[in-house]
Amino acid sequence: MAERGARPRVPAVRRRLLRAAGVFFTPLLPDDYLELIDPLWSSRELRGRIESITRETADAVTVTIRPGWVWEGHEPGQYLRVGVVVDGVHHWRAYSITSDPGRPDGFISITPKLVETGKVTPYLVRHAHPGTIVRLGGVEGSFTLPDPLPRKLLFISAGSGVTPIMSMLRDLARRDALRDVVHAHSARDAQAVIFGDRLRALTGRHSGYRLHVQHTGESGRLGPHDLDRLCPDWREREAFLSGPGDMLDAMTAHWEGHGDRSRLHLERFQPVIGGDAQGGEGGAISFLTSGAEAHSDGGTPILVAGEQAGAALPFGCRMGICHTCVGRLCSGRVRDLRTGKVSGSEGEMVRTCINAPEGRVEIDL
């Protein structure tokens, strides 16, 4: 089974009508026909139409999307899974939502930056055009502003890490809550600053928003050593950090050693899954439907072990978000590779992409 978009909240009357009309279309659904008129009318998955694509920097664009059904909203800082068709194949990727949830037109936007070796960003940056239909998956992520808002905030971002923070800043600006906010951002040079104009415009309108942009080409990367200079009271602030992994690691260590780790919030684009064979005991995996037998060393997800053994298994995001890969656990226990938590009871649906076997397991896949 391939990954689907989120289930839209369709008015109950309409859903009942569609179900009643089903008798004329079985085994298909009325949706199968209605979608030929307008793909956005699908009541089984949320889709969107690209309204505009605007260039932010040489290699980043903002894609503005009209959702097919009323946007149910997101919290600033969260990300969205977006499905696009590239050369005939559906691909799904997660992107931080850069728009403010309170946008009056109900549109949403994402701001992908080109990854030359990737499949999806080259498509979005170079080939997608207004009118293109995309699939919209679930909104996820816990990198969000606390409620009630802290009195003092610190944002640290690097490169395209600014995208979730842009959504937060827009939300704060709309609520007139940019009261005491320090934002340190770094990018290669002036041309590479995504949202550069908008960030500067915010400093003009909101005196409580202080922006420092560092060009790594001249001054090097932002690191813990810059904190005391840029924001002497960083220990007293609720800090939000978004950027490449080594920056996150360095800052986390700094907060642990010299500050209050609980006040540091961060966004890792790729959760660290697998690769740690010491983590668990691993075990043999029996795939009951396909008949495949595999083995995991304890650091390898069930999905990967199965694929290495030649089984064709359902997969999606490979990071525990989309639930495409779930299989029924018929016996045994599994360990969540993100948290190390061991769980499992018979009949439980487990995500094979983030779980490794803890001893022998049987999965109905």
Partner 1 sequence: MDTMIETPLARLSDDQLDDLARELDAIHDEVFAELGDRDRRYITSMIELHRRLAVLGRVLLFGARYKPAWVAGTATLTMAKILENMEIGHNVMHGQWDWMNDPYIHSSSWDWDSASTPEAWKHSHNYIHHTYTNIRGKDKDLGYKIMRIDPHQKWVPIYLGQPFYNVLLMAFFEWGVAFHDLDLDAIRKGEKPKKALERELKGMARKAGRQIAKDYIAYPLLSGRKGFKSTLTANFASNVLRNVWAHAIIFCGHFPDQTYTFGEDEVADETRGRFYVRQLLGAANIEGSPLFHVISGNLGYQVEHHLYPDMPSTRYAEIAPQVKEICERYELPYNTGPFLKQWATVQRTILRLALPGGRPRPKPGPYRRDATQGADPAWHPESPERRRRGAAASGPARAAGGVRTALPADP
The answer for residues whose C-beta is within 8 angstroms of residue 280's C-beta and 6 or more apart is 298, 299, 335, 340, 342, 356, 358
Which residue number, 85 or 277, has a Cβ lying nearer to partner 1?
A: 85
What stretches of the chain adopt beta strand conformation (E)? 47-57, 60-67, 79-86, 89-96, 108-110, 133-140, 153-158, 181-187, 209-215, 238-242, 264-267, 283-287, 293-296, 327-336, 342-343, 349-350, 355-364
Q: What is the DSSP string of 101-121?
A: TT-TT--EEE--B--TT-SHH
Which residue number, 184 or 353, has a Cβ lying nearer to partner 1?
A: 353
Which residue number, 27 or 146, has a Cβ lying nearer to partner 1?
A: 27
We find the least distance from the C-beta atom of residue 20 to partner 1, in angstroms, to be: 11
Which residue number, 28 or 58, has a Cβ lying nearer to partner 1?
A: 28
We find the least distance from the C-beta atom of residue 89 to partner 1, in angstroms, to be: 6
We find the least distance from the C-beta atom of residue 42 to partner 1, in angstroms, to be: 9
The answer for residues whose C-beta is within 8 angstroms of residue 317's C-beta and 6 or more apart is 3, 81, 92, 94, 324, 353
We find the least distance from the C-beta atom of residue 186 to partner 1, in angstroms, to be: 36
Footprint of partner 1 (CB under 8 A):
1-4, 23-28, 32-33, 36, 45, 85, 87-91, 314
We find the least distance from the C-beta atom of residue 273 to partner 1, in angstroms, to be: 21
We find the least distance from the C-beta atom of residue 314 to partner 1, in angstroms, to be: 7
* Residue 218: exposure state from Cβ atoms within 10 A (0-12, 13-18, ≥19): exposed
Which residue number, 21 or 211, has a Cβ lying nearer to partner 1?
A: 21
Which residue number, 32 or 249, has a Cβ lying nearer to partner 1?
A: 32
Among 310, 333, 332, 334, CA closest to 320: 334
Q: How many CB atoms lie within 10 A of CB 195?
A: 23
